[in-house]
Structure 1
Amino acid sequence: MDIALIGIGKIAVDQHVPAIAASSDWELAATVSRAGTVDGVDAYTDFDVLLAERPEIRVISLCLPPVPRFEYASKALKAGRHVMLEKPPGATLSECHALEAMAKAKGVSLYATWHSREADKVAAAKDWLSDKTLKSFRVTWKEDVRRWHPGQDWIFEAGGLGVFDPGINALSIVTKILPDAIHLTASTLLFPQNRQAPIAAELKFFHPGGADVSAVFDFRQEGEQTWAIEAVCEEGTMLLTHGGAQMFVDGVAQGATETGLHGEYPRLYANMAALVRAGGIDMDLSPMRHVADAFLLGRRETVVPFEF
C-alpha cells in the first residue's frame, strides 16, 4: 500500500522511514515537510497539494508535533484517507474524540500509536502480572531532553507536553500491562521559569487493590538514561528496563536482551496494515487521560530556566 509520511523530523528519519522501507506492506510514496526530504521519494511542502494531486495514496502517517496534528488529521480523514498518528494522538482529548468520530463517519481506519507498547518485553510483562497480587508499582522515566529533542523548543510550548512527551510512553506501558485500572490522585509538576510545559513530574495513583503506585518523570537526566518499571508482588518482583526492551523476574533476565526501540515501529506499521485491511479503528486514549489528569491535579513548582 502507498503511504505518505507527514513531518520529516528526527523521529521520522530515525524510526518511521526505516520501518516503512523494511515492510512488505508499505511503499513510501510521498512526504510533506517544510524542509525535510527522503531520498528517492516525492517531496511536498503543502499537504493540501498532496491530497489533491495524489488520490492513490490512501494512507497518511502523521509525525508532526501534537498541536498542529489535528488540522492535518482532519483534512486527511475528510478526504477519505486512513490515518496513523504518532504519539500523543493529539493535543487534547477532545481533538482525539473528534478525529475518531470523523473516521467512523468516513468509514476509514484511524490508529493512535503507542510505540512503547510494542517494546520487546511488554507482552511478557502483561502476562506475568495477570495473576499476581500487586504490592507496589514504581515507574522511573528519566532522560536528557537535549539528547533526544535537540533544539526542539515546541516541546516546552503550551500543548507540547514537556516531560510528558516521554512520560506518556511509560504510561502507555502501564495501561497495557496492569490488569486493574488505576487513576491519578496527585501530581507535582516542575516548570522552568521560562517555559510553558513541565520539565519534571511526580505522580501518585489509586489502585483498587491498595497497591502503592507512583511515577517520576524527569527531562534533566545526564549520563545513563533510565526507563524502568518495577512491580513488587506477593509472588515476586518484576522489573522492566530499557523502555520495556528488557525484563527481569527476581533478578533473572527473561528472554533475549534487547535495547533501544528494537522492533517497535515495524510492529506499529504491521498493526496499521492490519487495521486498514480490516477497516478497523484503534484509538485507545488511556495514557493521555492520565496526562490530562496530571495537569488538572498538578501542584505547580517553578524551577530554574531551561535552555537547549
Structure 2
Amino acid sequence: MKLALVGIGKIARDQHVPALAGSPDWELAATVSRSGKVEKVQDFLRIEDMLQARPDIETVSLCLPPVPRFAAAEAAIRAGRHVMLEKPPGATLSEVHELKRLAERQGVSLFATWHSRMAEAVAPAKSHLSGQRILGGRITWREDVRKWHPGQEWIFNAGGMGVFDPGINALSILTEILPDPVHLAWAELDFPKNRQAPIAARLAFSSNIEADFDFRQEGPQTWDMEFETGTGTLALRMGGNVLEIDGARVGGADSIMGEYPALYARMAGLVRDGASDVDLSPMVLAADAFTLGRRNSVEPFEF
C-alpha cells in the first residue's frame, strides 16, 4: 500500500522512514515538508498539492508538531485518505474528536498512535497485572530535551506540551497496562520564565501512583515505571522495553526500534479491516495536569 509521510523532521528520519523501509505492507510513495526530503521519494511542499497530484496514495502519516497537525489531517480525511497521527494526536482533545467524527463520515481509518504501547514488554506487563490489585507505583521519565528535540522551539510554545511530549509516552503505557483506570489527583508543573510549556512536572494519581517528568536530564536517560501489587513488584525499564518481576529481568529487548514497525503493522491491519483506533486516555490525563496542576515559574531555558 502506498503512503505519504508529512513532516520530515527528526522523528520521521529516526523512526518512521526506517520502519517504512522495512515494512512488508507499505511503500513510502511521497513526502510533504518545507525543509526535509527522503532520497528517491517524490516530495511536495504542501499537502494539498500531494493530495491532488497523487490520488493513488491512500494513506497519510502525519509527523508534524501538534498545533498544525489538525489542518493537514482534516485535508487528508476530506480527500478520502486514511490517516495515521504521531503522538500526541493533536493540540486539543476537541480537534481529535472532530477528526474521529470526520473519518467516520468519510469511511476512512484513523489511527491515533502511541508508540510506547508497542514497546516489547508492555503486553507481557499488561498480562501480568491483569486481575491484580495495584498498591502503589512510581514513574520516572527524565530525558534531555536538547538531545531528543534539538533546537525545536515549538515544543515549548503553547500547544507544544513541553515535558508532556515524552511524558505522555509514560501515560500511554500506564493507561494500557493497569487493570483499572486511574485519575489525576494532584499535579505541579514547572514553566521556564521564557516559555509557554512546562519543562518538568510531578503528578499524583489514584491507586497511590506518582510520576516525575523532567526535560533537563543529562547523562543516562531514565524511562522507568515500578508497581507494587498484592503478589510482588513489577517494573518496566527502557520506556517499556524491559520487564522485571520481583527484581529479576524476565523479558523484553534492549532496543526501542521495534515500536514504529509495530505501529505501521497495526495501521495496515486497520486499513484492511476498515477500522479506526483513537484512544485518547493518555491525552486526557495530560490535559488534566494542565487544568489541575499548580504552576511554578523556574529559570529561563534556551537550546
TM superposition score normalised by structure 2: 0.99
- Identify the residue that residue 201 of structure 2 maps to in structure 1: 201
1:214 is displaced (CA, Å) by 1.1
- Identify the residue that residue 287 of structure 1 maps to in structure 2: 282
Q: Are residues 256 and 96 of structure 1, via their aligned partners in 2, closer, same or farther at CA, if it must alter by over 3 Å?
A: closer
1:132 is displaced (CA, Å) by 2.0
- Identify the residue that residue 64 of structure 1 maps to in structure 2: 64
Is 1:94 aligned to residue 109 of structure 2? no
State the Cα deviation string for residues 98-125 of structure 1 (Å, max 9, x = none). Answer: 0000000000000000000000000011
- Identify the residue that residue 247 of structure 1 maps to in structure 2: 243
Matched residue of 1:150: which SS?
coil
Rounded Cα–Cα distance in structure 2 between residues aligned with 1:252 and 1:262: 23
1:46 is displaced (CA, Å) by 1.4
- Identify the residue that residue 169 of structure 1 maps to in structure 2: 169
Is 1:11 aligned to residue 11 of structure 2? yes
Q: Which amino acid aligns with 2:277?
A: D
Aligned residues: 303
* Structure 1 runs not aligned, ≥5 long: none
Moved over 3 A (4+): none
Q: Which amino acid aligns with 1:57?
A: I
- Identify the residue that residue 234 of structure 2 maps to in structure 1: 238
State the Cα deviation string for residues 220-260 of structure 1 (Å, max 9, x = none). Answer: 0011100001001121111100000101111111125422x
Matches within 5 A, 1:21-36: 21-36=21-36
Matches within 5 A, 1:120-269: 120-206=120-206, 211-259=207-255, 261-269=256-264
Conservation of the 8 A alpha-carbon contact between 1:119 and 1:243:
yes
Q: Which amino acid aligns with 2:75?
A: K
Q: Which amino acid aligns with 2:208?
A: D
Matched residue of 1:269: which SS?
helix
Rounded Cα–Cα distance in structure 2 between residues aligned with 1:154 and 1:60: 22
Rounded Cα–Cα distance in structure 1 between residues aligned with 2:55 and 2:124: 41
> Aligned residues: percent identity?
61
Q: Which amino acid aligns with 1:3?
A: L
Rounded Cα–Cα distance in structure 2 between residues aligned with 1:91 and 1:126: 28
1:269 is displaced (CA, Å) by 0.1
Matched residue of 2:239: which SS?
helix
Q: Which amino acid aligns with 1:295?
A: F
1:134 is displaced (CA, Å) by 1.4
Conservation of the 8 A alpha-carbon contact between 1:120 and 1:258:
no
Q: Which amino acid aligns with 2:229?
A: C
Conservation of the 8 A alpha-carbon contact between 2:15 and 2:257:
no
- Identify the residue that residue 293 of structure 2 maps to in structure 1: 298
Matched residue of 1:136: which SS?
strand
- Identify the residue that residue 74 of structure 2 maps to in structure 1: 74
TM superposition score normalised by structure 1: 0.97
Conservation of the 8 A alpha-carbon contact between 1:140 and 1:229:
yes
Is 1:85 aligned to residue 85 of structure 2? yes
State the Cα deviation string for residues 248-279 of structure 1 (Å, max 9, x = none). Answer: 111111125422x2210000000000000001
1:185 is displaced (CA, Å) by 1.3
